[in-house]
Structure 1
Amino acid sequence: MQETPLCLRVGHLLHYTMSDYNTTDFTNPSTFILMGIPGLEAAHIWISIPFCAMYAIAVLGNFTILFIVRREPSLHKPMFYFLCMLAVTDLVMSTSTVPKMLSIFWFNSREISFRACLTQMYFVHSFTAMESGILVAMAFDRYVAICNPLRYSTTLKNSVVAEIGLAVVLRSGIVTLPYPFLARRWPYCRTNIITHSYCGHIAVVNLACADIRISSYYGLFDLFSVTGMDVFFIAVSYTLILRAIFRLPTKDARLKTFGTCISHLCAISALYVPDFCTSLTYRFGHNVPLHFLVLFDSLYLVVSPVLHPIIYGVRTKQIRGRLLQLFTHKKT
């Protein structure tokens, strides 16, 4: 295991040591110890500053999106309902990890119970998959709006939007269930120190003193069958959208129509690019420094929730106008 030597090297920087928590006779430890950003413990206070700022922006931004859509009747449309689903997902995903990270950075509060660790694992992976599913739904929304605009109101009725949202939640919840169950079945007889800032699936099962190929294979299955299929459906949607855009008679019409997709394309990039990079690097990037991997992975969970409200707040005319109107009224 790569984790144990690293823990030994940085153990003198911690209040916790390997000898305090390493045992040889437990199968399911009562607690795990989260290292934060291993190798950068001396800089935890400085690292906490951008994490805290981004988390505050994410919470404020996503709550603002929810508030504006709720208050403005003209925004009660499928596109903005999906945006609200994305905002809720971002709030839960960041809140399930960042407060614990900050407690590690600020107070050296590294302990997390075994059950809480499995719960955090479930929430992280479930809401990441949920966010991916919502982006597919938003791609479908753009496809109908551009390729079949006359049928938009009849195709995406409120009941259909609710059914799509329920399907996304059920799919994400069911697909993610094996993660904590697989992690729970392995014996942890070497160490309970997780060289990470939160309880990710691979970070936890790598501590098991057993053959964890099932967990690893299921993680790859989830990556390629769920996220991969979502990317495929989004790619098909945008192929059809671009074909419809290029058929428009004027350049201005093409640019204006494509402009309605920019926000969604930015949201897609903010989720999938770091997701694929992180997943593949963890499995195959053995020469990448661990502290870089952990820092990048931790940032990934807060960058998307920060970027999404900014992207849609700046790019979406209705939200930008309502937000400016809200601040103007407050000043007057």
Structure 2
Amino acid sequence: MQETPLCLRVGHFLPYSMSDLNTTNFTNPSTFILLGIPGLEAAHIWISIPFCAMYSIAVLGNFTILFIVKREPSLHGPMYYFLCMLAVTDLVMSTSTLPKMLSIFWFSSREISFSTCLTQMYFVHSFSGMESGILVAMAFDRYVAICHPLRHSTILTNSVVAKIILAVVLRSGILALPYPFLARQWPYCRTNITPHFFCGHIAVVKLACADISISSYYGLFDLLSEIGMDVFFIAVSYTLILRAIFRLPTKDARLKTFGTCISHICAISALYIPDFFSSLLCRFGHNVPLHFLVLIASVYQLVLPVLHPIIYGLRTKQIRGRLLQLFTHKET
């Protein structure tokens, strides 16, 4: 999906000693070195505490969503199928990066093999794209539920939902496929140290001693074709939704109908607002400390997987009720 929100240039980080820099010519380095959060190495152990706690909450929360939807037949509907897909995406996104981050913080295990780095790169970009696509699918579900409530079950059948999920997976998987291949083709003859805690595409290819215009152009194309299209379709869906809501006869009916969209609007805001903010920082925040940019990047990897279960768990009456019922049964 989006490019890693970092305006990194080789030479902006020197927390390693010069002896750690690999300046020998190599075409495909056997390993890369991840610095974690450059400039804050002394605080890594303290930073790891909230990161570990949030990762635990993300895993527990998303597995809880999957468990509740699977166990409760009344939740076997389009919106909850999309929510389960979002939970799976969050689990893969966070698990593909956070364990390595914690190993850097706890054990100074900074090395990552080149092939593992490329695999991680693919998972990060493909699943971040899926996350955006699922939010579009949820927006379509809200549009059908509000604008065509009597036809909701006939329009969004299980077959249609499965096709939508498959389309989201294929789109993101195919569009992310060039990233590792582009990164593999460049010669890396300056350094194999990247000032990050995971292998983002731009963070890696900026280490190449070659013209990486193709990588940059493809990143822009991917950004416009995924995020641009997704934001457009979400905007169209909510324009139609709001038009239908304002046509309702009473204020209570309008508020109640709009309330069914609050969880989805919160999820959209949690994804796109930090993305927009980080893009502005990359382009105009030339004096922003590098460690702050890296921390902003962690929003995509950790904060969203934590927020989604909280947003949908607290705002969705059926999930909240089922969760309370499970705890009540355990207590009795």
Task: Give the TM interval when normalised to the shorter protein.
Answer: over 0.9
TM-score by length of 1: 0.95
Q: What letter matches 2:79 in structure 1? A: M
Q: What letter matches 1:291 in structure 2? A: H
Give the CA deviation at 1:204: 0.4
Worse-matched range after superposition: 199-208 or 212-221: 212-221
Aligned to 1:150: 150
Aligned: 1:304 with 2:310: no
Give the CA deviation at 1:126: 0.4
* SS of corresponding position for 2:13: helix
Taking the TM superposition and a 5 Å limit, the aligned residue runs for 1:134-213 are 134-213=134-213
Aligned: 1:239 with 2:239: yes
Aligned to 2:3: none
Aligned to 1:129: 129
Give the conservation status (yes or no) of the 8 Å contact 2:8–2:206. Answer: no
5+ unaligned residues in a row in structure 1: which ranges?
12-16
Provide, for residues 143-165 of structure 1, a one-character-per-residue CA deviation record: whole Å limited to 9, x for no partner: 00000011100000000000000
Aligned: 1:7 with 2:25: no
Aligned to 2:4: none
5+ unaligned residues in a row in structure 2: which ranges?
1-6
Give the CA deviation at 1:246: 0.2
Aligned to 2:228: 228
Give the CA deviation at 1:277: 2.6
Question: d(CA) in 1 for partners of 2:190 and 2:223?
Answer: 28
Question: d(CA) in 1 for partners of 2:275 and 2:181?
Answer: 23
* SS of corresponding position for 2:152: helix
Provide, for residues 245-279 of structure 1, a one-character-per-residue CA deviation record: whole Å limited to 9, x for no partner: 00000000000000000000000111111123324
Aligned to 1:263: 263
Aligned to 1:276: 276
Aligned to 1:14: none
Question: d(CA) in 2 for partners of 1:304 and 1:24?
Answer: 39
Give the conservation status (yes or no) of the 8 Å contact 2:274–2:299. Answer: no
Aligned to 1:316: 316
Give the CA deviation at 1:22: 1.2
CA RMSD of superposed structures (Å): 1.3
Give the CA deviation at 1:188: 0.4
Q: What letter matches 1:310 in structure 2? A: I
Q: What letter matches 1:269 in structure 2? A: S
Q: What letter matches 1:106 in structure 2? A: W
Give the conservation status (yes or no) of the 8 Å contact 1:79–1:138. Answer: yes
Give the conservation status (yes or no) of the 8 Å contact 1:179–1:215. Answer: yes
Aligned to 2:96: 96
* SS of corresponding position for 1:5: coil
Question: d(CA) in 1 for partners of 2:137 and 2:260?
Answer: 15
What is the percentage of aligned positions where both structures have the same residue? Answer: 83
Provide, for residues 101-152 of structure 1, a one-character-per-residue CA deviation record: whole Å limited to 9, x for no partner: 0000111000000010011111011000000000000000000000001110
Give the CA deviation at 1:283: 4.8
Question: d(CA) in 2 for partners of 1:224 and 1:133?
Answer: 13
Question: d(CA) in 2 for partners of 1:18 and 1:322?
Answer: 57
Q: What letter matches 1:171 in structure 2? A: R
Taking the TM superposition and a 5 Å limit, the aligned residue runs for 1:96-115 are 96-115=96-115
Q: What letter matches 1:317 in structure 2? A: K
Question: d(CA) in 2 for partners of 1:282 and 1:204?
Answer: 16
Aligned to 2:290: 290
Give the CA deviation at 1:24: 2.7
Give the conservation status (yes or no) of the 8 Å contact 2:34–2:193. Answer: yes
Q: What letter matches 2:286 in structure 1? A: H
User: Greater relative contact order (Cα 8 A, min sep 6): structure 1 or 2?
Assistant: 2
Question: d(CA) in 1 for partners of 2:108 and 2:278?
Answer: 26
Aligned to 2:329: 329
Provide, for residues 166-191 of structure 1, a one-character-per-residue CA deviation record: whole Å limited to 9, x for no partner: 00000000011111111111110000
Question: d(CA) in 2 for partners of 1:166 and 1:31?
Answer: 34
Q: What letter matches 1:135 in structure 2? A: L
Matched residues, number: 326
Q: Which runs of 4+ in 1 moved over 6 A?
A: none
Q: What letter matches 1:5 in structure 2? A: G
